[in-house]
A and B are shown apart, each in its own frame.
Chain A
């Protein structure tokens, strides 16, 4: 039980972050995020941007899978939709950067709504495999239509905002991280509203939810739409970050990566999506660093990619077997331990 969080007004009671400790940590976190780009090397800035994009997309999938209970293996395809929209707008139309991102989000959302239509009739794992179909169809369209540049893909010029050309990780950091934070804030608030609670009710038992007056099709579609909007914006950021978009950029394994991220992090928890995406993005990099430290590193690099695949699989299995609620639960346990520390443990 939490103690010492006495509230005097309803606004204070309903606030997203309601305790002093949370405010302090929030301030520390913001300060670190602000200072990070000035202290870190290019490599770490690159990683920070990549992590941030993955966090945005994983949070989108968390809305759909973690909170609404609809398993999707199409997240990468929706990111692809967003990325291609942004790329085409940037090259052909030259519209402003932030508008492109929004457009990417909305195109992906439209895609999500179409893929979501079967979700009323098709449930559970049948739905998961139907979304695999969606991602193959999307891949085919990317590779075989004229304005997507075929298998060679599209190459973007760097984005520019208020006359500043965003061509380095350092400059992109100031766009990618705030956009991600904004999306996280949106997701965290979503589940305190009528819509978000409807999602949770559908996850827990969809027939009961329908009996309670929740329009299943509308809310399931809404969930698909929101989740793909997140994916689309993340895909747009991805396109500006890597500046090359090809059909192979968004494979099925990427969708599996995001599903794994929210499982490892903790489904149905915003913090879980964040922790999972950070963890799953950093593990391969840490493996690479670890292999570099070992003696005979050059011979080991041959094994790096398969070892990464094995570790990826073992992480999924290990978390499901030993820690089904993911890193968010681990975090909660640590917090509880320090809550009354050192008086009780």
Chain B
């Protein structure tokens, strides 16, 4: 056993786990506030990355302008999605809303293929390229700085949740929409706001993921891993998203190195099944008590 190598692999895994955690946070936010399982999270990531590609390459904007533009565009998309597809289904069974996001995923993939074709593209490099050394371990600079951005963003989001009025309104809506409504919180606006914020977060992680591995119309597969992360962590737990993200990132890296690339998804899904068998609501999810 080569311990230094193991350490290096684990670090890379944790770093990519940070990216999972960021995307999972975008997912959990929507689930907490609106009880919608957004299976299209991977596709929203992809659209964010493609918007960045358009602004940075096609319109040749400088990077510092292209990123905010892409994030704003993604936020607009989030608002449109919430208004046209999610709002009309308020109060419908969760399965219906879930299937709407399945349809949304399909629409987004199709639109991306029509507008940008299915070819693989490369995003311009904007992250520093000097290798990062942690102790003796080498870490790919893109992965390291991507994880760094993810961690900073996650911290910002958590602080916003904690202290900003809108964040408090969001948490109130999440714990009891009816009570929040009667306390004067504009619940429909909170719903819109969550979708916008979630789409923006997804766009940022899409830009990072895309700049590491390139973008293509099949980038939505990343969403499958995110889905595993949130199920393992618990659909409505922010802490679960963070821990689950790091855990799945680590497991994928280890499985990919020691067993082979084709085992990655297999191992994560087996972990998912085991966690569900032991804790049906994920590691940190709320156990809902059913009453008649």
Contacts and interface: CB of A to CB of B under 8 A. Distances in A.
Contact of B272 (A121, A129, A315): A129
Nearest to A259: B99
B186 to A, nearest CB: 23
Interface string A283-308: 00000000000000000000101111
Interface stretch (B50-58, B106-114, B154-162): B106-114
Contacts of B111: 306, 310
B280 A126 contact: yes
Contact of B88 (A128, A208, A211, A321): A321
A306 B110 contact: yes
Nearest to A253: B106
Contact of A126 (B85, B266, B270, B276): B276
A316 B113 contact: no
Interface residues of B, number: 45
Nearest to A117: B277
A309 B113 contact: yes
Contact of B100 (A128, A308, A317): A317
A121 B275 CA distance: 12
A136 B266 contact: yes
Contacts of A144: 262
Nearest to B263: A140
Contact of B110 (A124, A128, A313): A313
Q: Chain A: interface secondary structure? A: helix
Interface stretch (B63-71, B90-98, B132-140, B173-181): B90-98
A48 interface: no
A321 B85 contact: yes
Contacts of B227: 129, 132
Contacts of A143: 262
Contacts of B266: 136-137, 140
Nearest to A208: B292
A263 interface: yes
Contacts of A134: 273
Interface of A: 65, 71, 118, 121-126, 128-130, 132-134, 136-137, 140, 143-144, 205, 207-208, 211, 256, 259-260, 263, 303, 305-317, 320-321, 324
